[in-house]
Amino acid sequence: MDEQAWAMYGLDRGVCLVAHGPFTACASMPQQGTAFYCNSFGLTDPSPWRIPASWEIIQVQDWHEPELPHIDWEAPDSAAFAHVFQEISHAVRRGVFEKTVPVSVQRGKMTHGSVEHLAYAFARVGSPKIPYAWIDGESGFAGATPELLFTLEGRNLHTMALAGTARAEEKEILAVDEKEIREHEYVAQTLIAKLADLGTLQRHERGILDLGPIVHFQTLIDLILEEDVTIEVLLRKLHPTPALGPLPRTRETLDLLLAWRSFLGCPDEFGAPFGLLHDGKFQCVVAIRGLWWQGAEIQLPAGCGVIEASRMVNEWRELRLKRDAVKSAIGLL
């Protein structure tokens, strides 16, 4: 990997761990030290663990103010998304899915500036979002995600269901929206079913997570494992969550989703686990609400949960809401 490669993970409010390359790629989690977990959505990388040459803890306020690049955005391809939406709707009516999550991608071209400054800008996004970044040569991604896949320290596991979206001014409507509640409960109940046999589980009350311009339903879930479970087993058990994956999750439904993501030009790492092993604790986010790039070509992906009650115009509106939230978070809107 490029010697100039670097990675970032938000540890706490205003504090990030920043690691520098070259990174050593490994198939298995190291027994000690600091390492990142970086994989594709399909978990196809045979060596997803990245051990840095060095790392440091950074107070974000000590970083210089980022100078954001200028990006000329294209309009997203509504026709391609409509085609996929219709295929999904037919599959739902046939009983293949209860829910799945197509991804629309807006593309742009950076006319001047540095993509590294995008990572600096995402690092400044406030809690409860978690900033993350991976830069390797001319390619990379950076974002600030509200969705934690899980943390594991000892036998204490913490995760969340995050699904159901509305504008901030529609917060009261979201609280009673049957379609959004149903979508959220798909996610929460599936997570609980996957974890219930591993130990003592506590589901917290469904609440609303306020992210400024948008709000989401959120249910926090805590688990005390009865016995040790490897990180790799937990990753494959929990990813993809129904917030970004198919329900039910079978080889057929996952292959269909991967095909739709490919058709729509979705970056491989969007929605994938991105994690950090540090001081004996593993923290892993779902890599959403960010930007991906290859050279000057920029991609802004966003997904939406499609169930039987979904309507194309509403889902297209939600996708724009999520894209605008990413741009707004770092001052690109």
The Cα-based distances of 98 to 1, 92, 93, 153, 247 in angstroms read 41, 6, 9, 33, 6
Burial 208-230, CB ≥16 within 10 A → b, else e? bbebeebbbbbbbbbbebeeebe
Residue 31 has phi, psi (to 5 degrees) of -75, -20
Sequence letter at residue 317: R
pLDDT given for residue 298 in this prediction: 97
Residue 222 has phi, psi (to 5 degrees) of -115, 145
Nearest one of 283, 291, 275 to 329, comparing CA atoms: 291
pLDDT given for residue 4 in this prediction: 79
- Nearest 5°: the CA angle 237, 241, 242 is 130
Q: For residue range 110-143, what is the model confidence (pLDDT) as tens digits?
A: 998 888 889 999 999 988 999 999 999 899 999 9
- Annotate the chain with three-state secondary structure: CCCCCEEEEEEECCEEEEEECCCEEECCCCCCCCEEEECCCCCCCCCCEEECCEEEEEEHHHCCCCCCCEEEECCCCHHHHHHHHHHHHHHHHHCCCCEECCEEEEEEEEEECCCHHHHHHHHCCCCCCEEEEEEECCEEEEEEECCEEEEEECCEEEEEEEEEEEEHHHHHHHCCCHHHHHHHHHHHHHHHHHHHHHEEEEECCCEEEECCCEEEEEEEEEEEECCCCCHHHHHHHHCCCCCCCCECCCHHHHHHHHHHHHHCCCCCCCCCEEEEEECCEEEEEECCCEEEEECCEEEEEEECCECCCCCHHHHHHHHHHHHHHHHHHHCCC
pLDDT given for residue 247 in this prediction: 87
How high is the mean pLDDT of the chain?
A: 94
Residue 3: pLDDT band (50, 70, 90) is low
CATH class of 6-60+71-330: alpha beta
The Cα-based distances of 90 to 161, 172, 307 in angstroms read 26, 32, 11
pLDDT given for residue 13 in this prediction: 79
Residue-range domain boundaries for the chain: 6-60+71-330
Do the Cβ atoms of 325 and 210 come closer than 8 Å? no
Query: Does pLDDT of 241 surpass 90?
Result: no
pLDDT given for residue 1 in this prediction: 52
Residues 6 or more apart whose Cβ sits within 8 Å of residue 249: 240, 242
Mean pLDDT within 315-319: 95
Query: Does pLDDT of 175 surpass 60?
Result: yes
Do the Cβ atoms of 201 and 221 come closer than 8 Å? yes
Mean pLDDT within 268-287: 97
Query: Does pLDDT of 2 surpass 70?
Result: no
pLDDT given for residue 291 in this prediction: 98
pLDDT given for residue 269 in this prediction: 97
Token duo for residue 109:
């071209």
pLDDT given for residue 333 in this prediction: 78
Q: For residue range 63-103, what is the model confidence (pLDDT) as tens digits?
A: 877 889 999 999 999 999 999 999 999 999 999 998 999 99
